[in-house]
Amino acid sequence: MATKGYALEKSPDTIFLHLKRFDNMGRKLGKDVEFPEKLSLKKVARDGSVYELYSVVVHAGGSLGGGHYYNFSKISDKWFCVSLYPLD
């Protein structure tokens, strides 16, 4: 049996993760996504980096062609919400 794996020698200072929340027809997926405020890369990074979440962009609406984006940002251990712009 063969296995395949990878490891990062050195993790970047900042990472940006994009989760695809639409199907191939442009319809929004209905599942909620939960994520921790701290993300550990100990399983894939040799330097054992841990990242702290400080910003999330959320799309509210049913499709790619319409809706609204919100940004949630953490400043001094408090979360703030900013409405970005409508897509309609």
Q: Render 26-43 in DSSP notation, one character per residue.
A: SBBP-------SEEE-TT
> Are 58 and 28 a contacting pair, CB within 8 Å?
no
Number of domains in the chain: 1
* pLDDT band of 86, cuts 50, 70, 90: low
| Residue range 21-36, pLDDT digits in tens | 778 877 778 788 888 8
* pLDDT band of 64, cuts 50, 70, 90: low
Strand order in the sheet with 66-75: 55-63, 66-75, 78-86
- Residue numbers of the domain that contains 80: 1-88
pLDDT for 38 beyond 90: yes
* pLDDT band of 55, cuts 50, 70, 90: very high
- Distance, in Å, from the CA atom of 28 to the CA atom of 26, rounded to the nearest integer, reads 6
Residue of higher predicted confidence among 83 and 39: 39
